[in-house]
Amino acid sequence: MNFIRHTAARLRRLHPFTWCVVLLVTVAMVLIVVPGLEADNDETSPWYASSRKQLYWDTASRYEAHAHQANAPHRTTIWVTDHGWPFPFMLRSLGSFELIAVGGAKQSRAWSKPQITLGGANTGTSTGAPLEVSWSNRDNWPLESEFYHFRLGFLLLDCLAALLVVAIVAALTEGWIRARGGLLRFRTIDFLIVVTGSSVALAWYFHHWRISERENDLVQSMTTETWIRGAEKDYAGPKWLARLVGNQELLSFLYHYDSLQWHNSRAVQSLDDWQREFGAVRKLPYLRSVTLPDGVPLTALAELVEQHRLRSVGFEFYKADVTQFISGEVSLVHAHQLELLKNLGIRHLELIGENVLASDIETAAGLPTTTRLTLHDVAASLDDIEAIRERHPNVEIVTTWGTYRTKEPASAPAQERLARHNEARRREAKAEAERLASAADAQPEDEGDMLSPAIRDEVQRTIGTQ
């Protein structure tokens, strides 16, 4: 009781300006901790990843029943948000079922609109449309949900962290006022602190600005050489700042290139060319995701994954070819050799193209570190993919097809025919490679037919880089 009375007496003696600061900081901490942002698909903590996956599928299952009842063209929107800082204490889902009718679309849910919008920011990702401040939107607050996962212990930790921040700021403010005998009394050290703080903030800003300039020059050079077909920027700043501001695109100086896509139709090149390209890519400090063509050298990929701790690696496998079955001195990543990735620690793997068969998907799902597998336009039947899901319940498998990335192919029977066709094409390519290898081994080694050692070495080196 004495402690409570003593604390209450001290609070009553606080300067009015201190109370204003406490109010502002409290509001800021509430905006950081309580409103939600869209869940991070690349978050790997077990509770977060499993909860996001479960919420998505539970909500999708609920609206799948509506789809069967409607028996009409429809579209389902599912939104999973996380709440809490520094530790997420809740994930929740919201959904909407939209019927596409002749008179216009009809939604089962009326999404709320933000009360605050700002002019578009030039981030490289914004289209210039007004930017929505997330905490001004009712749907971002945990007031309703389809399903949710909640952790009381982490909510208490977040509240404790917020109270600690408020208490520290209040103590520093009150101590500063009492030490100077009033609010508008300053010392030389106060100006030094302000100058130092401003200098640190400006140095942080210009640090990211210089990195952005170097990234832009590097990506422009890659694009000019035509071996990169696309590069994307994403927010690379602290999460609490994005939550406080309400829209991370307002912090344009914190946007950096985090994703690159190689051209998928490229001539076979030497190992030196690959090393040169990967050497340039390694200069992007915030790179987290790459999409690669067929036949990438395993050693170059391993170095990139280790240096940047890539969160996502994608491969485009569009056509079976004889050269894919010719072994050489350098290990190359092909669709039928995904087991080579087992020691790279890749968590999110994306496979694209008609040369990705059900057996390849099985191999990818069985890699020891795979937690998420994204498939697009693969040559596997829906039944095969569902069977792989059942055999690997801990791996989230997401499938899309076509230009608009629909969740189902246009025709299930056509998809099965495509799978059989590409399986046959791969068998033919493998058989042709084996035939050529046998013919080479059976070639007579007389002086007229035998290649010179120098030419044979050159051939072996060429095959080794393919």
Question: Using one digit for the tens of pLDDT, what is the confidence trace for 14-60?
Answer: 888 999 999 999 999 999 999 999 998 878 788 998 899 899 889 88
Q: Does the pLDDT value for residue 9 go beyond 80?
A: no
- 323-354 per-position pLDDT tens digit: 888 877 888 999 999 999 999 999 999 999 99
| Average pLDDT score over the chain | 86
What strands, in cross-sheet order, belong to the sheet with 255-262? 228-235, 255-262, 289-292, 312-316, 348-352, 372-376, 396-400
pLDDT classification of 448: cutoffs 50, 70, 90: very low
Mean pLDDT throughout 358-366? 96
Domains of the chain: 2-180 (no CATH), 209-441 (3.80.10)
What's the pLDDT at 359? 95
On the question of pLDDT at 261 being above 70, the answer is yes
CA distance 374 to 392: 14
pLDDT at 275: 87
Q: What is the pLDDT of residues 375-425, one digit of tens each?
A: 999 999 999 999 999 999 989 899 998 887 877 787 888 999 999 999 999
pTM above 0.75, yes or no: yes
